[in-house]
Structure 1
Amino acid sequence: MPIRGVPCAWTVEEFKSWLKQFDVDRDGKISKAELRQAIRRRGCWFATARAGRAVRRADRDHNGYVDDAELENLVAFAREHLGMNISAR
């Protein structure tokens, strides 16, 4: 069942744009707390654990954030572990 305001299918650009709305401090990076809010908005269970795991998997430079260069890693995580339908187009 879709959540109001959250599409069932996304393009990569739509997903990135949606995710960036959770960058509350506007630093251009997604923190674990910001990602937890996004996952909660999506209606997924265990948002805290999933956010931590997602940041660890996506964060290639190990600075604790997911930046623009690492968003593709987060897209892959969302597809595999959050059940999000994200297509290249």
Structure 2
Amino acid sequence: MAIRGVPSSREDMTLEDFKAWLKQFDADGDGRISRNELREALRHRLRGGWFTTWRSGRALRQADKNNSGFLDDSEIENLVAFAQKDLGMKISVW
């Protein structure tokens, strides 16, 4: 079942779908994703899966190239690479 127009975890996502899905978890609306917001996104995506705190920290460290502690639009493709490789998500970037 799709949530707010975003494919379920068993379906492929486009880059735009991924961005829309991730934006749902921008709790403070600042346009950036914090570690806590990313953790909530992973909990939702992995259905409460194990090690979401560890995975979100690892994802942030790999994707946050400017070491700001947040993911902004310029770093989303880094997060996509992590999600595809380490989380098994299917995201088409073109």
Q: Same fold by TM (over 0.5)?
A: yes
Instruction: Please give the TM-score of this superposition, normalised by the length of structure 1.
Output: 0.90
* RMSD of aligned Cα (Å): 1.4
Which blocks of at least 5 consecutive residues in structure 1 are unaligned?
none
**Uncovered stretches (5+) of structure 2, i.e. residues with no partner:** none
Matches within 5 A, 1:19-38: 19-38=22-41
Give the CA deviation at 1:73.
Answer: 0.3
Alignment partner, residue 77 of structure 2: 72
Using structure 2 for the length normalisation, give the TM-score: 0.86
Deviating above 2 A after TM superposition, structure 1's stretches of 4 or more consecutive aligned residues are 3-6
State the partner residue of 1:82.
87
1:16 to 6, 10, 19: 19
Find 1:41's aligned residue among 40, 44, 53: 44
Sequence identity percentage: 54
Which has the higher relative contact order, 1 or 2, with Cα contacts under 8 A spaced 6 or more apart? 1
